[in-house]
Amino acid sequence: MEISLLAEQILFGDSLADKLAGPAPGDRLQDEQRGAGMVGPPDAPGRPSGLELRSDATPLSFPGPGRLHEPAAAGAALHFFANHELLALELMALVLLRFPDADPAFRRELVATMRDEQRHMRLYIGRMEELGVRFGAGSTSPFFWDCLSNVADVAQFVAGLSLTLEQANLDFALGFARAFRAVGDEATGAILDQVHREEIVHVARGLKWLPRTSGSLWDDWIAHLPPPLTPRRARGPEPDREGRRRAGLPDEFVDRVLVYGHSRGRAPNVYLWNPGCEEEIAGGATYQPARPVLTLEHDLDTIFVAAAGVDDIVVVQEPPRDAWKAQLQEAGFPLPEFLLAREQVPLGDRPVGSLRPWGWSPRAAARLPGGSWDPALRPLFDKHAGGTVLRTAWVGLDEASGGRILDRRALPEQVGSAEEALAAAEVLRGHGYPHVVFKKALTASGRGQLRFLNEPFPTDEQRMWLQRNAPGGLRVEPWLARRVDLSLHFDATCDGLAYRGQVRFVTDRNGRFREAVVGPSTPGLDQDLLRFLTGDGRDPRWMERTARAVGRALEGPVRAAGYQGPLGVDAFVYERQGRLAVHPLLEINPRWTVGRLALSLRGRGLRGVLRFVSRSEARELVAAGAVALTDHETARHSAAVFVPAR
């Protein structure tokens, strides 16, 4: 029997008998009548009824490992595996027909691989029937066919099938063999063991036939990998290093495969770390980032791994080290794609879910294709904005809190001259608030402020600061004795502000961030604070009601600015004359915040703290079990670490 005739029967046949065909007993396969080669692939292979490749059909739902004790769920899993074997078999037949001039040894080995795939199919189908599931019970996706049916040559085929999809199957076969044995299904586990052993041989064959021209296996593989496949498709959830080693893949190559991040299909969200966004907005067209901002941009550019998923993109200035990515992955964090871009982000024609800079600014809009900067957003970044909303909404917030927010006489004032600033300070002192702080309109948190702490008269230096900054607008308010710093988090959408949660954080004496609590806000607090925040145990949700009232108060200004995205509000609990109260709206942050990252970590089921620390402190914390969210080994000064709760 000629190989070309067998390939035609497998590719175009519409019965399982055709797909499982082989030479008659005693008949040998020959490869003498190869033909001229098929010009292009068919739209789809021939298929039995019920197994058609249809992108518009809803396929069977793949069951999780926790359901494999159920016969129907186990059979559904095997249905997926059998169809993948069938697709591989059909693609191999197609390659034999499209490239008749390929090396005869390659063609013979491909036929041997096809016989393995047929054997795998028989094993899967037989076990499915024992479990009461018919092969053909659900339509199947054409994704792999669409990826590989139109490859340009044999090199693309082995790069895409053998070194990508079959490499991933090492992980899936081994992992599901364990999962089936965990529920007592030794029969299915034994089938997957056999598949795993033979997939090692298939990967080795792909390695043998991949053209090697650059001296780097990785570079040669990437050069021949047909889009939209990426190295991300070459691994499963439980990496099988030993299987890859037995297939002949070098350890360095395997390390790169296992830490590679790239979208697997969902349009990615694109994350960009630009911590100087507020200073840029304040500086206008002449803004040039200062050295500390540039250092921060460099050191923490992977910080969004706290929020990004495996299908997302995190823009970086330098490629992260593989060792750091491996540590992050071992800690259970999904690895996004890291896209190198020092200026405009090279997205090309790739579809994008959403653009997510740390904060929108003119430079962020210029770097992100499709982004835009609207000057109408500028008022939201003004540190006075929160005070304006607070004065307007104070009555409603006080009612929502049950009378637990700050005294109305302590509400911030906005002034435009040094004389007005000092007069407002005297009014606050007359109300019993001896310590006062002056804040500039546009500045980063903890910066651009002057504290006037019970001095009878301003110093010459303080007066000069006021005269220099007051014409641009100053906010004057009491400097209160903080007990707990909080942040309230919302998503601004076209329908309004959706409340997402509350985060407790710690700042230094200048108001700069130190750490955020990942988890509930109340554990570890002093008893008086715990009683206050839980309403003495009788009203534990009063703070949430207050937060939602803050969101309602902000909807008008946010909608007027046209802002959509994450929005944080700084708040705090303070003590005055033995009484606790909450300042519910200190500043509005129409951007990502560290508190929002902590909330994202909490959403992954994590508990602990998120810290910004020096390189040396990060090294000590990581050695003690913390997770480096940014690479302290390549940082110039600082790093972000997640310290799990013990």
Average pLDDT over every residue of 355-368? 96
pLDDT higher than threshold 70 for residue 60: no
pLDDT-derived band of residue 428, with 50, 70 and 90 as boundaries?
very high
Q: Rounded distance, CA 545 to CA 335, Å? A: 36
pLDDT tens-digit map of 272-300 = 999 999 889 988 888 898 999 999 999 99
pLDDT tens-digit map of 123-156 = 999 999 999 998 887 657 777 888 899 999 999 9
**Per-residue pLDDT at 306:** 96
* The amino acid at 227: P
pLDDT higher than threshold 90 for residue 345: yes
Token pair belonging to 379? 């008022």
Average pLDDT over every residue of 72-95? 93
Q: Rounded distance, CA 309 to CA 191, Å? A: 33
pLDDT tens-digit map of 393-408 = 999 999 999 999 999 9
Domain residue limits, the chain: 3-20+61-259
**Per-residue pLDDT at 311:** 84
CB atoms within 10 A of CB 370: 11
Residues 119 and 197 sit within 8 Å (Cβ to Cβ): no
Residues 588 and 569 sit within 8 Å (Cβ to Cβ): yes
**Per-residue pLDDT at 444:** 52
Q: Rounded distance, CA 438 to CA 387, Å? A: 13
Q: pLDDT higher for 50 or 313? A: 313
Task: Give the burial class of 462: count Cβ atoms within 10 A of its Cβ; 0-12 exposed, 13-18 middle, 19 or more buried.
Answer: middle
Residues 416 and 470 sit within 8 Å (Cβ to Cβ): yes
pLDDT-derived band of residue 17, with 50, 70 and 90 as boundaries?
very high
pLDDT tens-digit map of 200-242 = 999 999 999 999 988 899 999 999 999 888 888 898 877 899 9
Strand partners of residue 501? 489
**Alpha-carbon torsion angle 443, 445, 448, 453, nearest 10:** 150
Residues 38 and 88 sit within 8 Å (Cβ to Cβ): no
Q: 0.85 exceeded by the pTM? A: no
CB atoms within 10 A of CB 442: 20
What share of the chain has pLDDT > 70, as a percent?
A: 96
* The amino acid at 44: A
pLDDT higher than threshold 80 for residue 112: yes
pLDDT-derived band of residue 522, with 50, 70 and 90 as boundaries?
confident
**Per-residue pLDDT at 620:** 96
Strand partners of residue 438? 450, 476
Q: Rounded distance, CA 404 to CA 413, Å? A: 21
Torsion region of 234: left, alpha or beta (phi above 0 gives left; psi -120 to 50 gives alpha): alpha
Q: Rounded distance, CA 558 to CA 337, Å? A: 32
Return the half-sphere exposure (C-beta side, CA atoms, 13 A cut-off) of residue 358. 25
pLDDT higher than threshold 60 for residue 309: yes
**Per-residue pLDDT at 142:** 78
**Per-residue pLDDT at 48:** 85
**Per-residue pLDDT at 510:** 65
Of 120-134, 257-271, 328-342, 359-373, the least confident? 257-271
pLDDT-derived band of residue 514, with 50, 70 and 90 as boundaries?
confident
- Using alpha carbons, select from 518, 542, 540, 502 the residue that is nearest to residue 605: 518
How is 299-322 classified by DSSP, letter by letter?
HTTTGGGGT--TT-EEEESSPPPH
Average pLDDT over every residue of 17-23? 89
Strand partners of residue 221? none
How is 421-490 classified by DSSP, letter by letter?
HHHHHHHHHHTT--EEEEEESS--TT-SEEEEES-SS--HHHHHHHHHHGGG-EEEEE--EEEEEEEEEE
**Per-residue pLDDT at 335:** 87
pLDDT higher than threshold 80 for residue 180: yes
* C-beta pairs of 464-472 under 8 Å, 24+ apart in sequence: 465/438, 466/418, 466/421, 466/422, 466/438, 467/418, 469/438, 469/440, 470/415, 470/416, 470/417, 470/418, 470/420, 470/421, 471/416, 471/417, 472/440, 472/441
**Per-residue pLDDT at 11:** 94
pLDDT higher than threshold 90 for residue 646: no
pLDDT tens-digit map of 607-639 = 999 999 999 999 999 999 999 999 999 999 999
**Per-residue pLDDT at 262:** 57
Q: pLDDT higher for 156 or 456? A: 156
- Using alpha carbons, select from 449, 481, 490 the residue that is nearest to residue 596: 490
The number of angstroms, rounded, from the C-alpha of 579 to the middle of its chain's C-alpha atoms is 42
Residues 158 and 210 sit within 8 Å (Cβ to Cβ): yes
pLDDT higher than threshold 60 for residue 69: yes
**Per-residue pLDDT at 543:** 95
pLDDT tens-digit map of 524-553 = 899 999 999 999 989 999 999 999 999 999
pLDDT higher than threshold 80 for residue 27: no
Backbone angles phi, psi at 84, to 5 degrees: -65, -40
CA distances (Å), origin 415, targets 35, 120, 331, 476: 87, 78, 50, 7
CA distances (Å), origin 107, targets 99, 154, 489: 9, 10, 60
CB atoms within 10 A of CB 466: 23
Backbone angles phi, psi at 261, to 5 degrees: -120, 135
Parallel, antiparallel or unpaired: strands 269-272 and 354-357? parallel
- Using alpha carbons, select from 500, 475, 492, 501 the residue that is nearest to residue 560: 492
Considering the chain, what is the average pLDDT of its residues? Answer: 90
Token pair belonging to 354? 């959403």
pLDDT higher than threshold 90 for residue 423: yes
Token pair belonging to 225? 């990998």
DSSP class of residue 232 equals G
**Per-residue pLDDT at 401:** 96
**Per-residue pLDDT at 256:** 87
